[in-house]
Amino acid sequence: MNGAESLVRTLLAGEVDVCFTNPGTSEMHFCAALDKIDGMHCVLCLFEGVVTGAADGYGRMSDKPASTLLHLGPGLGNGLSNLHNAKKARTPIVNIVGEHATYHVAYDAPLTADIEGIARPVSDWVRTSADSKSVTSDAAQAIAAARTHPGAISTLILPADTAWTDAASVATVPTQENPETVSEAAVENCTQALQSGEPAMLLLGARALRAPTLEIASRIVLHSNAAMRSELMSARTERGAGRVGIERIPYVVDEAVKVLDGIRHLILVGAKAPVAFFAYPDKPSLLIPQDCEVHVLATAEQDIAGALDRLSDSVGAQSRLPDLESAKRPELSSGELTLEAVWAGVGHFLPEDAIVSDESITSGRGLHPYTRGCPPHDWLSGTGGAIGRALPEATGAAVACPERPVLCLSGDGSAMYTVQALWTQARENLNITTVIFNNRSYAVLHGELRNVGAVPGPTAHDIFDLDRPYLDWVAMAESMGVEAVRVDTAEQFNTALAAGFHSSGPMLIEAMV
Amino acid sequence: MNGAESLVRTLLAGEVDVCFTNPGTSEMHFCAALDKIDGMHCVLCLFEGVVTGAADGYGRMSDKPASTLLHLGPGLGNGLSNLHNAKKARTPIVNIVGEHATYHVAYDAPLTADIEGIARPVSDWVRTSADSKSVTSDAAQAIAAARTHPGAISTLILPADTAWTDAASVATVPTQENPETVSEAAVENCTQALQSGEPAMLLLGARALRAPTLEIASRIVLHSNAAMRSELMSARTERGAGRVGIERIPYVVDEAVKVLDGIRHLILVGAKAPVAFFAYPDKPSLLIPQDCEVHVLATAEQDIAGALDRLSDSVGAQSRLPDLESAKRPELSSGELTLEAVWAGVGHFLPEDAIVSDESITSGRGLHPYTRGCPPHDWLSGTGGAIGRALPEATGAAVACPERPVLCLSGDGSAMYTVQALWTQARENLNITTVIFNNRSYAVLHGELRNVGAVPGPTAHDIFDLDRPYLDWVAMAESMGVEAVRVDTAEQFNTALAAGFHSSGPMLIEAMV
């Protein structure tokens, strides 16, 4: 058994059995090992941003790490942006990055780069294996690190000679530790805040946004007459009819400040104190009122469900019934394809158990109210703010949950960053319906320029608009083997969306909004 | 004048008048400044790998830096791979990376990342401006650093508040320093090596591969009965009829070892001692014979032309005539579209003054002999080994030299990494003919797997082959506004290539090889 084989066997022993990959020469022994050993589902992507974004989507939906296989520093570099998103989402991922043979690095061959340096800003754990005998124990520790609750990014760098030299027998992967229990003081402190008689809000993030946990939070706020919100962006929110609905802290600073106005106690449950997505002249960074006290019930790393359960006990809310969304779908629109018409169509047709990967930016701002009464579904959003996330994320989510329909919502600008994901969707025949909001611009930037007090002139217009030349999304999708249709009216959109949800493979709808 | 305006004015004062850009919110004041100040040519790219690859192509052809405008850590991350290539090519580039306002970074908003940490592995100079008054002097130093002979990567990180706050008056950009003169001892040492009577070789890289410098080198080796080669990859080689032809050190280790066999003195002229592109079991990293002495005439940073001139003097070669290529073009092929047929077509039609951006990997290995007698042209190759380079590089080269025809040669696999470049080519109506060698695989990896002694099994086959689904390059190009044609025979290829060279805008040829 060589190092590459010991790596594959260790990954499988650690239940890491999916590998999103874009390999190169330095990973050849790993590829050869995949041919010798059964059990690893290899998913080829044509660009590394798709690899890492798919691993993010997979991890969010399966709560366990996929592996990635990347080619030296530049391959890792191409995947950096979606690793940034995944790190902020606390998604478990095990990156395997090939490196030159240990003795070859000193010669500064063309692909030589500071791989650890590139990895560190987007990784929670980084290691370069020293020799082939260390590969299996290093891999076991990489898996254990990635499984740190609720998830972390491990990057294991494997010099080529560690892959082709004889290895040790497969190491045992440490069992996953339970998340830390929060202290009694934290529960007591939050109890007092809720019982103070002053306005309080629970701010939920991370695993607090799973359905059973949301029910406990709902009981607490109903009983305590407190407010409840989720962070603006969440890795995964379980929502829909029969579940607790939760509104987000708004993106626009003035709106967020208004939502938080008057709150005297903000209780953080897997969330961080809300801050502006960007800074603007004469606007605050921290969005809470100056006299608001912040209490941490549980961090994202701690046992959130247990903490909420104890808080519910402590405030006496255990017999309360949570406030559940009732089933309700919007009527279909007709005529012009407005954004509202798209939102209505999505709300009308979203299938039960759907996974929504949302990167619709400006075009999707009204989607939440239109879908709150849909059958139960999961909503994935952009925790790290880096665009080019949704198409790969949808790809990975569909690999994790092949039996569930995936809806991918993307602006035309953001979809272009990692458009290569469509090819993998076709290759794996994934059940993904992608809606491209083709507004022929970086619409968000027109608004942001006004936000900073500037009026777009000809140069700004020119670099925010994507209509010269026109991006033909139907041709784009078809070039990569994905069936596609362009829609100009609400009726056409509704027909296409229903067809997308009914078909088993990928489909793309170019919505001319 | 705010910091953003002082930045634009400093760039223009430093003759940095092209900006390849993919901006976001934190760069809004820079965009607003571009509307107020004339003189900056902004080129919008839909992905940052295109931005940095285009800046590389621009810098290689213009010998002065373009600027890039990138959005925080993830935007820079997306551009990392082509910055790696540019750094290895010693291309001058000034990266401008937006950052959160100084006071906002501490709040860890979603897009917060260690931008300096991401920048360092691919930059020669990194700085974060502390305040708006520092922006102009920091920018002046960034330009000066990028202009370090022959070129370097500067990354200037600008917190948003440094852009929107009042600035200092525009700083003076230091004039470019001349490259260092090599020592008399270096010339003397190389003279002795050449006059030793033992087999010697000049290995040329960097600016040694420009036509006038190659002529001096040719005189020296003819006079001294020495050999001459160029590094495997070069940022830019001036070649063709009436110029000195030079062969490269081969990519394949065994072939390279054979070329260097028996050489007792290797004289480095802007080059490094030749090393294997990758390490392989039981093959050497360093390709020269054990008893070969390495002499450095000039590093890439030094005055190469001056050093060669002095060496020529010292060995008494000044009256020699260099060995120039005679004009010669191959005959066109007919029938099956073999690789040889493509090479013959390229050699037959390549226009005078063409720029060839070559990332054809396995498909292009025979191109050099077919084009050595073409009219004078420039050849750009992959100095850093990271793929996804050619389409952006061709884009930037065409921006730098709008009057010259650009030929972009790419494998299907490598073209997919930064395919978004086609949109910018259409938008700017750039004179680029792109040939995609559609062999429906990562062909190089099949060979590499055999090189490491493994036989491709079903899994390796599956992740090296790109035929499931078929990538339709005509639809891909047309989706981004680029005219395209698929060719299956030599005749069709020849017709398409001639048409591409005759048309003024971009065109793509999908060569089914």
Sketch the domain layout of chain B as residue ranges: 3-164, 184-315, 339-511
Q: What pLDDT, on the 0 to 100 scale, is given for residue A364?
A: 87
**Per-residue pLDDT for B406 more than 80?**
yes
**Per-residue pLDDT for B77 more than 80?**
yes
**Per-residue pLDDT for B454 more than 80?**
no
**Per-residue pLDDT for B177 more than 90?**
no
User: Which of these, B361, B377, B510, B388, lies nearest to B443 by C-alpha position?
Assistant: B361
User: What gap in Å lies between CA A313 and CA A109, rounded to an integer?
Assistant: 63
**Per-residue pLDDT for A31 more than 90?**
no
For chain B, the average pLDDT equals 95
Q: What is the distance in angstroms between the Cα of A51 and the nearest Cα belonging to chain B? A: 12
CB pairs under 8 A between A and B: 315
- The CATH code belonging to domain A3-164 is 3.40.50.970
Tokens of B325: 């290529």
Note whether A17 contacts B: Cβ–Cβ < 8 A.
Answer: no
Tokens of A209: 């946004």
What tens digit of pLDDT does each residue of A472-496 get? Answer: 999 999 999 999 999 999 999 999 9
CA distances from A130 to A75, A99, A122, A157, A166 (A): 21, 11, 22, 9, 13
What tens digit of pLDDT does each residue of B465-508 get? Answer: 888 899 999 999 999 999 999 999 999 999 999 999 999 999 99
Q: What percent of chain A has pLDDT over 90?
A: 89
Tokens of A195: 């019982």
Q: What pLDDT, on the 0 to 100 scale, is given for residue A114?
A: 97
CA distances from B346 to B242, B356, B375, B398 (A): 18, 10, 12, 18
| Number of alpha carbons in the 13 Å side-chain half-sphere of residue B189 | 16
User: Which of these, A424, A411, A407, A400, lies nearest to A477 by C-alpha position?
Assistant: A424
Closest CB to A101 among B279, B456, B470: B279
| DSSP class of B283 | S
Closest CB to B84 among A77, A416, A471: A77
Q: What is the distance in angstroms between the Cα of B144 and the nearest Cα belonging to chain A? A: 24
What tens digit of pLDDT does each residue of A296-314 get? Answer: 999 999 999 999 999 999 9
Q: For the residues of A237-277, what is the DSSP string, one character each?
A: EEESTTSB--PBPPSSHHHHHHHHTT--EEEEES----B-S
User: What gap in Å lies between CA A47 and CA B272, rounded to an integer?
Assistant: 31
- Encode B370-435 in three state secondary structure: HHCCCCCEEEECCCCCCCCCHHHHHHHHHHHCCCCCEEEEEEHHHHHHHCCHHHHHHHCCCCEEEE
Interface contact flag, A285 B104, Cβ < 8 Å: yes
Q: Which of A169-178, A303-312, B4-13, B223-232 has the lowest mean pLDDT?
A: A169-178
User: What gap in Å lies between CA A331 and CA B478, rounded to an integer?
Assistant: 37
In our burial notation (b when 16+ CB lie closer than 10 A, e otherwise), range B445-476 reads: bbebbebbebebeebbebbbbbeebebbbbbb
Q: Select the residue from B81, B82, B467, B480 to test the A interface by mutation, using most A Cβ atoms within 10 A.
A: B81
CATH architecture of A184-315: 3-Layer(aba) Sandwich (3.40)
Q: Return the amino acid letter for A107.
A: Y
Q: What pLDDT, on the 0 to 100 scale, is given for residue B468?
A: 86
Q: What pLDDT, on the 0 to 100 scale, is given for residue B446?
A: 80
Asked whether the ipTM of the predicted complex exceeds the cut of 0.85, the reply is yes
Closest CB to A458 among B35, B161, B278: B35
Q: What pLDDT, on the 0 to 100 scale, is given for residue B459?
A: 81
Q: Select the residue from B40, B107, B123, B441 to test the A interface by mutation, using most A Cβ atoms within 10 A.
A: B107
Closest CB to B110 among A23, A121, A277: A277
Note whether A382 contacts B: Cβ–Cβ < 8 A.
Answer: yes
Q: Select the residue from A27, A164, A232, A452 to test the B interface by mutation, using most B Cβ atoms within 10 A.
A: A452
What tens digit of pLDDT does each residue of A6-19 get? Answer: 999 999 999 999 99
User: What gap in Å lies between CA A30 and CA A52, rounded to an integer?
Assistant: 18
**Per-residue pLDDT for A454 more than 80?**
no
Note whether A275 contacts B: Cβ–Cβ < 8 A.
Answer: yes
Between positions 424 and 443 of B, the ones with CB within 8 A of A are: 426-427
Q: What is the distance in angstroms between the Cα of A158 and the nearest Cα belonging to chain B? A: 13
In the structure, what pLDDT confidence band is assigned to residue B176 with cuts at 50, 70 and 90?
confident
- CATH 3.40.50.970 describes domain B339-511: yes
Closest CB to B384 among A103, A111, A272: A111
Q: What pLDDT, on the 0 to 100 scale, is given for residue A468?
A: 86
Q: What pLDDT, on the 0 to 100 scale, is given for residue B363?
A: 86
Q: What pLDDT, on the 0 to 100 scale, is given for residue B365?
A: 85
What tens digit of pLDDT does each residue of B266-300 get? Answer: 999 999 999 999 999 999 999 999 999 999 999 99
Q: Which residues of chain A does B161 touch, with a Cβ-Cβ cutoff of 8 Å?
A: 279, 281
Q: What pLDDT, on the 0 to 100 scale, is given for residue B431?
A: 97
Give the residue carrying structure tokens 């000044």.
B318
What tens digit of pLDDT does each residue of B110-138 get? Answer: 999 999 999 999 999 999 999 999 999 99
**Per-residue pLDDT for A176 more than 90?**
no
Between positions 292 and 351 of B, the ones with CB within 8 A of A are: none
Element (H or E) spanning A303, and its range? none
Note whether A469 contacts B: Cβ–Cβ < 8 A.
Answer: yes
**Per-residue pLDDT for A184 more than 90?**
yes
Q: What is the distance in angstroms between the Cα of A403 and the nearest Cα belonging to chain B? A: 22
Q: What percent of chain A has pLDDT over 70?
A: 100
Q: What pLDDT, on the 0 to 100 scale, is given for residue B324?
A: 98
Interface contact flag, A32 B445, Cβ < 8 Å: no
**Per-residue pLDDT for B449 more than 90?**
no
Q: What pLDDT, on the 0 to 100 scale, is given for residue B460?
A: 80
Q: For the residues of B76-109, what is the DSSP string, one character each?
A: HHHTHHHHHHHHHHT--EEEEEEE--GGGGGG--
Q: What pLDDT, on the 0 to 100 scale, is given for residue B29?
A: 87
Phi, psi of B418 (to 5 degrees): -135, 45
In the structure, what pLDDT confidence band is assigned to residue A458 with cuts at 50, 70 and 90?
confident
Pick the residue from chain B with its C-alpha nearest to A429: B469
User: Which of these, A231, A233, A215, A213, lies nearest to A223 by C-alpha position?
Assistant: A215
Interface contact flag, B42 A164, Cβ < 8 Å: no
Q: What pLDDT, on the 0 to 100 scale, is given for residue B401?
A: 98
The crossing angle, in degrees rounded to 10, of helices B390-400 and B48-62 is: 50
B355-359 and B406-411 strand pairing: parallel
**Per-residue pLDDT for B58 more than 80?**
yes
What tens digit of pLDDT does each residue of A49-80 get? Answer: 999 999 999 999 999 999 999 999 999 999 99
In the structure, what pLDDT confidence band is assigned to residue B400 with cuts at 50, 70 and 90?
very high
Interface contact flag, A460 B117, Cβ < 8 Å: no
Tokens of A332: 């279909």
Q: What pLDDT, on the 0 to 100 scale, is given for residue B226?
A: 98
User: What gap in Å lies between CA A505 and CA A484, rounded to an integer?
Assistant: 11
Q: What is the distance in angstroms between the Cα of B387 and the nearest Cα belonging to chain A? A: 9
**Per-residue pLDDT for B455 more than 80?**
no
Note whether B285 contacts A: Cβ–Cβ < 8 A.
Answer: yes
Give the residue carrying structure tokens 């280790």.
B253
Closest CB to A81 among B77, B121, B417: B77
**Per-residue pLDDT for B238 more than 80?**
yes
Same fold, A3-164 and A184-315: yes
Pick the residue from chain B with its C-alpha nearest to A103: B285
Note whether B483 contacts A: Cβ–Cβ < 8 A.
Answer: no
User: What gap in Å lies between CA B117 and CA B105, rounded to an integer?
Assistant: 15
Q: Select the residue from B17, B80, B420 to test the A interface by mutation, using most A Cβ atoms within 10 A.
A: B80
Q: Which of A214-228, A434-448, B160-174, B176-190 has the lowest mean pLDDT?
A: A434-448
In the structure, what pLDDT confidence band is assigned to residue B451 with cuts at 50, 70 and 90?
confident
Q: What pLDDT, on the 0 to 100 scale, is given for residue A339?
A: 96
Sign of CA pseudo-dihedral A274, A296, A264, A215: positive
Q: What pLDDT, on the 0 to 100 scale, is given for residue A450?
A: 77
